Structure 1
Amino acid sequence: MRLYQIILACLIVLAACNNSASTKKKGEDTATKPLVKKDTPVVLNRILPDDGQSGMKKGAVYIYKNRGFELFSGSTGMGKKYAETINMYSRLKLPGLKIYNLIVPNGFEFEVTERNKDLVKPASEAINSIFAAEDPEVTRVNPVDEIRRHRTEYIYFNTDHHWTSLGAYYAYRSFCGAAGLTPVSLDTIPFKVKPNFLGFFYRLTRSSLLKNNPDSVKYYLFPDSVNFYIGSSSISYWAKSHMYAETASGDNSYSVFLQGDLPICKMETLHRNGRKIALVKESYGNAFAPFLINNYEKVIVVDSRYYKGDFLAMLKAEGINELLFLNNIFAAHTQFHIDDIKKLKK
């Protein structure tokens, strides 16, 4: 990895969402109906035709089509270390616990043309290399093809390294396919929007191109009733709060999701299907987690960078029977982030 890429990877994992704003009706539950597969989805080509446009580097950020990007070139060896860390949890053989691993591709993966294809390593290649090193008991979730089918939509921010809630939604659909769940449709879900978001890439570069292409942050108001709690290192302590930080604004707008990077939080719903999941994540998981309340009776979200409690004891105390590791592709190839995930197992 070239120096600027190493620097960017570290900045993204460390700052990844330190914009923290830490400020069904009962009856028949259809949340676990298996996803009905229709026609086999078309897999689109990764390389787009050359459109004559070139990008430029500004510090550690690649600016292309008035958007900021990170350029991925993680090593196979580091990806294998990440796989070994996931295997470590699988080999604990915790009774009744099903483990998933979902790796989020970077935004530039969906902008690769003949002209710039040598700038980055293919995301699916890196993800599949990790999957090949994982134990067969781990359920693998690769959202690349599902996201690529929607590449022309607003799935990654222009000025920030995160995905939008829509990008997270398409990964959630991939997860539902692997977990035997029916994904919620967004067609009738109300939402709110926070405008004028200038994110991490803008703060790094102060580029006028990015400043003139600001983002908006959409978050969905699901009809399912949910109780949201903020936890602590103590297994038994949960303080009732709100799933969205409505006061988040400006360059902190991404922190609307889950109030930012809380060490641990919990969502309890009216579903009674026996499915209780823990999500271990970095900041990409913040926009993803709210979708899970449509399918699970309990969702616990743990940020591996900040949680210092007894993780395994918490899983047992909360009756967790599914465990999802969700990390962006840079985090999955970064040593100190891998170490953070390892340290959860004390």
Structure 2
Amino acid sequence: MKQKYSAIMASSLTKVISIAVVVIMILNIVIPDHKQSETENRPLQTFPAWNVEHVLSGQYGKDLNTWFSDQFVFRDQNIHIKYLIQKFTGVKEIQGVYLTKRGLIEKTAEVNKEQLDRNLNAINTLKQNYPDLNVGFMLAPNAVSIERDSLPKSADALDQNKQMDDIYNRIDNSIKKIDVRSTLEKHKDEYLYHKSDHHWTSLASYYSYQTLASSFKLDKTKKSDYTIYPVSNSFEGTLANKTGSLKIKDEIDIYVPKTETDYVVTDESTNKKSRTIYHSEALETKDNYAVFMGGNKSLFHINIDNDSKKHLLLIKDSYANSLIPFLIPEYESITVVDPRYYFDDYTRLIQNDLITDVLFMYNSNTFVQDTSLADMLQTQ
């Protein structure tokens, strides 16, 4: 009797699973493809177009598998459920991200030694080629460095401070070395890094600007010089997307000088002009951090109405986006270049934009793996 009951249950369960699989397959086919994952903040594989060459090479099969994985109807729910299970079972790291009491912290990146050598040589060579320019190098530490006391005891993080020391030691002494670590260490218990994202906050940019101002002979400021607006309290950043975490949300603040400065921003990729670097429409998207400059673009020109005679060339990654508001009052113009997207001759910018100052500004994790800077500076 018991065997007969078990057989009936097994048969019923098989039918239920079979029906569920068929229903899911039908849903996957019927429901229109999504081009973007809001949870992961990345493009998704849409149904691949049939192509003889791709079929014969095997690429079509790979694209089809990726499509099924990306367009699976319960994909977002599965990502979140997997995160909850891992966290409940005591997992402390997911895809290179530590799960800590203060939030999510990205691991220290491994150094791409060959490319790092090229990039450092390119920076030093630029200064040699333009000895009269005021050139600075500013490397921002990541949360894994400043908030290392929050890391799990089992963390096997590489020593980012050691990486940064090596980099600064290899920057030519004719270049101003702007090291903000000691400044940020003094304020490490404050809100310096987002809990769900790999970027630092506007507060960290504010403190770092003070160190930069000392080195570049710019005016230092006080918090009271700004009106601080919290423009978002529901930001879920790249680390949340990567891990599938839930309920870790961040605040984004913008610092607006109380003494207003008029300026015009030109996005050279679209030739669109704006009288502000802030893009409020980004607050309605997944990437709230794009409120600064509208995200990463190849080239911006910022022309400022003031009495300064200084012109800055800022060569940067996305960490610099929240630093730019503090720089604007100090320059007559700022030329902003992201080497990941800029493929033209940068020397023309130095000549045409009357550049007096050059600032390289990266976060450490990005810089040790960057593959674009030396190419842009045309150094082999």
TM range (shorter): 0.7 to 0.9
1:196 counterpart residue number: 234
Equivalent position to 1:212, from 238, 247, 260: 247
Tell me whether 1:262 sits opposite 2:297 in the alignment: yes
Pick one of 346, 357, 373 that aligns with 1:341: 373
Going from structure 1 to structure 2, the CA distance change for 1:55 and 1:267 (only over 3 Å counts) comes to farther
User: CA, structure 1 residues 101+240, in 2 after alignment: closer, same or farther (shift >3 Å)?
Assistant: same
Q: For 1:124, what is the secondary structure of its paired residue?
A: helix
SS in 2 for 1:221: strand
Asked whether 1:317 is paired with 2:352, we answer yes
Q: 2:280 aligns with which of 235, 238, 246?
A: 246
- Cα distance between partner residues in 2 of 1:314 and 1:238: 19
Residue type matched to 2:92 in 1? Answer: M
Aligned with residue 182 of structure 2, among 145, 153, 159: 145
| CA gap 1:133/1:265 in 2 versus in 1, 3 angstroms | same
Aligned to 2:194, the other structure's residue is in SS state: coil
State how 1:1-346 maps to structure 2 within 5 Å.
56-72=92-108, 74-75=110-111, 77=113, 79-93=116-130, 96-113=132-149, 116=153, 119-193=156-230, 194-207=232-245, 211-222=246-257, 223-232=259-268, 239-249=273-283, 250-334=285-369, 337=370, 339-346=371-378
Q: How far has the Cα of 1:232 moved from its partner?
A: 2.6
After superposition, give the CA deviation of every residue in 1:34-79 in whole Å (9 maximum; x if it has no partner): xxxxxxxxxxxxxxxxxxxx97011221111151111115349454
Residue 92 (structure 1) shift: 1.5
Q: Calculate the TM-score normalised by the size of structure 2.
A: 0.69
State the alpha-carbon separation in 1 of the partners of residues 110 and 210 from structure 2: 26
Cα distance in 2 between the residues matched to 1:82 and 1:309 = 17
- State the alpha-carbon separation in 2 of the partners of residues 326 and 130 from structure 1: 13
Root-mean-square deviation (CA, aligned residues, Å) is 2.5
Deviation, structure 1 residue 287 = 0.7
Give the whole-Å Cα distance in 1 for the aligned partners of 2:167 and 2:93.
Answer: 29
Distance 2:127 2:216 in 1: 16
Question: How has the CA–CA distance of structure 1 residues 107 and 201 changed in structure 2, closer, same or farther, with 3 Å as cutoff?
Answer: same
- 1:303-326 per-position Cα deviation (integer Å, ceiling 9, x unaligned): 111123321101210111100000
Residue of structure 2 in register with 1:10 after alignment = none
- Whichever of the two has the greater Rg, that structure is 2
For 1:299 and 1:324, how far apart are their aligned partners in 2? 10
- CA distance in 1 between counterparts of 2:152 and 2:276 reads 46
TM-score by length of 1: 0.76
Task: Return the alpha-carbon distance in structure 2 between the equivalents of residues 141 and 292 of structure 1.
Answer: 15
In the alignment, the residues of structure 2 paired with residue 123 and residue 143 of structure 1 have an alpha-carbon distance, to the nearest angstrom, of 14
Change (3 A) 1:122 1:175: farther
**Distance apart, 1:83 and its partner CA:** 2.0
Task: Say if 1:55 and 1:84 are closer, same or farther in 2 by CA, change over 3 A.
Answer: farther
Residue identity opposite 2:358 in structure 1? L
Q: 2:235 and 2:167 mapped to 1: Cα distance?
A: 34
Shift of 1:100: 0.6
Sequence identity (%):
22
Look up the SS of the partner of 1:85 in the other structure. Answer: helix
Q: Point out the structure with the larger helix share.
A: 2
Do the aligned partners of 2:136 and 2:360 also contact (CA within 8 Å) in 1? yes
Structure 1 residue 240 displacement after superposition: 4.2
Question: Which residue of 2 is the match for residue 3 of structure 1?
Answer: none
Query: Where in structure 2 are there 5+ consecutive unaligned residues?
Result: 1-40, 43-89
Give the count of matched residue pairs: 286
**Change in CA separation of 1:255 and 1:73 when aligned onto 2, cut-off 3 Å:** closer
Q: Which has the higher contact order (CA 8 A, sep 6+)?
A: 1
Deviation at 1:124, TM superposition (A): 3.2
**In 2, Cα distance between equivalents of 1:200 and 1:180:** 35
Deviation of 1:241 after TM superposition, in Å, equals: 4.8
Q: How far did 1:331 drift?
A: 1.6
Structure 1 residue identity aligned to 2:281: T
The separation in 2 between residues aligned to 1:66 and 1:77, in whole angstroms, is 32
Partner secondary structure for residue 258 of structure 1 = coil
How big is the shift at 1:157?
0.1
Partner of 2:23: none
Check whether the contact 1:233–1:310 (CA below 8 A) recurs between aligned residues.
no
Contact 2:102 2:195 in 1 (8 A): yes
Distance, in Å, in 2 between the alignment partners of 1:117 and 1:290 is 39
Separation (CA, whole Å) in 1 of partners of 2:91 and 2:184? 23
Structure 1 unaligned runs (5+)? 1-17, 20-53
Distance 1:287 1:296 in 2: 16
